[in-house]
């Protein structure tokens, strides 16, 4: 199992909100494709999948607050 973490987003952004996931649990994903969309009071942005595999766990649903460095999902 590989963990997907919310990357560092710059010094000013420490917490963001999940807008939506491009995939659901059980989907096969490819590295470098958009995985999840976030927003903060400063910007909206997408996080790309760091590797390919099956998305087996989404830890934060839409509307949830996430801090940089937290595990947001798991890929098998």
pLDDT in tens, 41-67: 888 999 999 999 999 999 999 999 999
What is the residue range of 54's domain?
2-75
Cα–Cα dist 70/12, whole Å: 17
CATH of the domain at 55: 2.40.50.100
Residue-wise DSSP of 35-74: EEEEE-SS-EEEEE-SS-EEEEEE-S-TT-EEETT-EEEE
Predicted structure pTM score: 0.88
Please count the structural domains in the chain. Answer: 1
Quick one: pLDDT at residue 8?
Answer: 87
């Amino acid at each position: 199992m590989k963990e997907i973490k919310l990357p560092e987003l710059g010094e000013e952004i420490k917490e963001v909100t999940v807008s939506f996931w491009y995939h659901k649990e059980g989907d096969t994903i490819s590295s470098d494709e958009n995985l999840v969309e976030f927003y903060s009071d400063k910007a909206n942005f997408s996080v790309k999948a760091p590797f390919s595999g099956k998305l087996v766990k989404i830890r934060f649903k839409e509307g949830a607050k996430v801090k940089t460095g937290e595990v947001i999902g798991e890929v098998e």
